[in-house]
Amino acid sequence: MAVAVTRTDLSVAHLRAAARRAATARQGLRILAIAHVLEGHGRRDAAQACGMDRQTLRDWVYRYNEAGLEGLADRPRSGRPACLSKAERVDVEGWVEQGADLATDGVVRFRRCDLRDRIAGRFGVYLHERSVGKLLRDLNFRRLSVRPLHPKTDPVAQESFKTNFADLVREALPANAAGKPVEIWFQDEARVGQQGTLTRIWAKRGTCPRALKDRRFNWTYLFGAICPARGAGSAVVMPTVNVEAMNHHLAAISSAVSVGAIAVLVVDRAGWHRSRKLIVPDNIVMLPLPPYAPELNPVENIWAYLRGNQLAHTVWDTYAAIEQACCNAWNGLMRLPDVIRSIGERHWATVKT
């Protein structure tokens, strides 16, 4: 038996206008079905025109009579209860954060099947591997490439360096630096050679894309330094890394420092950065990083940018070709000061003098 539309507060014109403004297409169709009924169309025709059957239309008429347009909106659905409780999900998150232990888990990294078995053994809940993958995504985990971590890395020393960076800079500045502008520079070296670099590319799923990679052993060294605040830099290409090569680079950096300014050059603790034979220009002060702390040097990210965009998937037949490739890559970067700032700026690497 058909249910009459008893609400009279909205006309057919108002209903059609509301259908156009509906939050979802399904709600709009329900409103239009009510409008068809009020226009005198048969219930079967009104239901078919809006993609539903007569019984469904009858149910929506009930809800419209009770609550108006709000009654035609989708109601929240509870869905199936979660397989794991909130506390159990927190435990799984902790496992993944801590990582696998070879002695305990039998693997050095968790795979989905490993987590599936551990969840089953600990909570008695049996999940498919795909469900474990969905759980990891819900917990905001992704499969990411890892960075090397030296076993002697000292996180406390690194945090102290960042926290006290301004004080360390002031201590490093000579007495005659008072009143001079201070620029923060970062320096590092990268080896570029015929072994080349492979990087990620877009490819069809299921394919195995190939890229050029040489097997010869000629290489050169790109000495690079950047001043993120200015979006500037300086580099030299040298056949080896030693004190003499570093002296050439220091001279190049000195000429790139703003007139009247003094540069605090942050470097790692390589031997050629600490030698007594270094000739440090008057407008440069050396500030060493904590031991084994490459992640504090943004030039490492500069190398990744150049390798990924300029120095990958290429074969160089001669040493001169490698040198030219390094020069072209660096000069191209120097034409992009915003990229240098974006890659090189660190919120802790600032100082007010």
Helices (H), 257-346: 271-274, 299-309, 319-334, 337-344
**Contact status, residue 72 vs residue 64, Cβ threshold 8 Å:** yes
CATH of the domain at 183: 3.30.420.10
Contacts of 50 (CB under 8 A, 6+ apart): 29, 30, 32, 33, 36, 57
Count structural domains, the chain. 3
1 occurs within a structural domain: no
pLDDT band at 21 (very low <50, low <70, confident <90, very high): very high
More reliable by pLDDT, 342 or 312: 342
90 occurs within a structural domain: yes
Residue 254 has what pLDDT?
Answer: 96
pLDDT band at 352 (very low <50, low <70, confident <90, very high): confident
78 occurs within a structural domain: no
Averaged pLDDT, 15-26: 91
Q: Are residues 218 and 129 in the same domain?
A: no
Averaged pLDDT, 121-141: 95
User: Amino acid identity of 231?
Assistant: G
Residue 353 has what pLDDT?
Answer: 58
Lowest mean pLDDT among 225-229, 327-331, 349-353: 349-353
Q: Are residues 116 and 196 in the same domain?
A: no
Q: Are residues 187 and 315 in the same domain?
A: yes
Return the biggest CA–CA distance within the chain: 101
pLDDT band at 293 (very low <50, low <70, confident <90, very high): very high
Size of the chain, expressed as the number of residues it contains: 353
Q: Are residues 197 and 338 in the same domain?
A: yes
pLDDT band at 176 (very low <50, low <70, confident <90, very high): confident
Q: Are residues 216 and 324 in the same domain?
A: yes
Q: Are residues 162 and 115 in the same domain?
A: no
Q: Are residues 126 and 223 in the same domain?
A: no
Q: Are residues 276 and 204 in the same domain?
A: yes
**Contact status, residue 217 vs residue 193, Cβ threshold 8 Å:** yes
Q: Are residues 289 and 183 in the same domain?
A: yes
Cα 49 versus chain centre, distance:
48
What domain range includes position 132?
86-138
Averaged pLDDT, 132-160: 91
Residue 313 has what pLDDT?
Answer: 86
Residue 252 has what pLDDT?
Answer: 97
Q: Are residues 191 and 287 in the same domain?
A: yes
Backbone angles phi, psi at 117, to 5 degrees: -65, -40
pLDDT in tens, 42-91: 889 999 999 999 999 999 999 999 999 999 998 887 778 889 999 999 99
Distance CA 27, CA 262 (A): 67
Task: State the distance between the two ends of the chain, measured CA to CA, in whole angstroms.
Answer: 86
pLDDT in tens, 163-173: 999 999 999 99
Distance CA 292, CA 271 (A): 13
pTM across the whole model: 0.70
Distance CA 101, CA 95 (A): 10
Tell me the angle at which helices 112-123 and 86-98 cross, rounded to the nearest 10 degrees: 140
91 occurs within a structural domain: yes
Contacts of 134 (CB under 8 A, 6+ apart): none
Residue 351 has what pLDDT?
Answer: 81
150 occurs within a structural domain: no
77 occurs within a structural domain: no
**37-61 residues labelled b (16+ CB within 10 A) or e (exposed):** beeeeebeebbbebebeeeebeebb
Q: Of 22, 39, 72, which residue constitutes the final position of a domain?
A: 72
Q: Are residues 31 and 178 in the same domain?
A: no
Q: Are residues 232 and 320 in the same domain?
A: yes
333 occurs within a structural domain: yes
144 occurs within a structural domain: no
- Nearest one of 262, 311, 307 to 287, comparing CA atoms: 262
Q: Give the sheet arrangement for strand 262-267, strand by strand.
A: 232-238, 219-227, 182-193, 262-267, 284-288
Residue 191 has what pLDDT?
Answer: 94
Take residue 201 and report the two structure tokens written for it.
């590319």
